[in-house]
Amino acid sequence: MSLINRRLLLTGAGLGAAALGAGFAWHRFHPPEASAAAQAFWARRFPSLDGTDVDVTRWRGRPLLVNFWATWCPPCVKELPEINQFYNEAKSKGWQVLGLAVDQAEPVKAFLQKSPLDFAIALAGPEGLGLVRELGNPAGGLPFSVAFDETGEIRWRRLGVSHLADLRLLTEN
């Protein structure tokens, strides 16, 4: 191989490696846009139990578990103590939890008087069933949980009761 061909080959390899490195750096510092479903979630506001608006963007940037539940849903009520325990165990690892009640304010307030929860609760109301469909639950069933990562993208979904052991696995990823 001639000296010119060798230089061309080495220059090409060097340029390829530089382009690959630049691509990795770009991806790391400019993560891809969140999916349409995730973007739609982060653009929402929900009423709190005191009537003020809750802007979900306040939870963006750290892992977030969102649980859709209702007072009239026995499996929902069954899983709430485990979600509460998950929150208390995982908050030191940066995890946040938001409970979105597919319900009206008065039944939720009455429920929370009897069974207080440590994580944030807001009202998704009847429109919450449309939101769960957008987030990957075509049946619109409850309970339904979604975990968002630090970038705001959906990383985990669960239709049905979430158990503490399964939730703990989220903190290992």
On whether both 49 and 129 belong to a single domain, the answer is yes
Here the tokens at position 166 are 């399964």
Mean pLDDT, the chain, whole residue set:
88
Question: Is the confidence at residue 40, as pLDDT, over 90?
Answer: yes
Whole-prediction pTM value? 0.81
Same domain, 106 and 162: yes
Looking at the structure, tell me whether residues 23 and 72 fall in a common domain. no
Query: What CATH number is attached to the domain comprising 40?
Result: 3.40.30.10
CB of 122 within 8 A of CB of 98? yes
Asked whether residue 119 falls in the same domain as residue 47, the answer is: yes
Same domain, 64 and 48: yes
Collapse the DSSP code of 58 into the 3-class scheme (helix H, G, I; strand E, B; otherwise coil) and give the result.
helix
- Structure confidence at residue 9 (pLDDT): 52
Do 50 and 12 belong together in one domain? no
Q: Which has more confidence, 30 or 81?
A: 81
For residue range 124-144, what is the model confidence (pLDDT) as tens digits? Answer: 999 999 999 999 999 999 999
How far is Cα 158 from Cα 35, in angstroms, rounded to an integer? 18
CB-CB neighbours of 147 under 10 Å: 21
143-170 mean pLDDT: 97
Query: What is the distance between the alpha carbons of residues 136 and 144, in angstroms, rounded to a whole number?
Result: 10
Do 12 and 84 lie in a common domain?
Answer: no
- Lowest mean per-residue pLDDT among 11-15, 102-106, 149-153: 11-15
What domain count does the chain have? 2
For residue 4, what are the domain limits?
1-30
Do 62 and 113 fall within a single domain? yes
| Together in a domain, 22 and 75 | no
In whole angstroms, give the CA distance from residue 112 to residue 2. 80
Q: What is the pLDDT of residue 24?
A: 47
Judged against a pLDDT cut of 80, whether residue 50 lies above it is answered with yes
Bridge-based pairing state of the strands 154-159 and 144-148: antiparallel
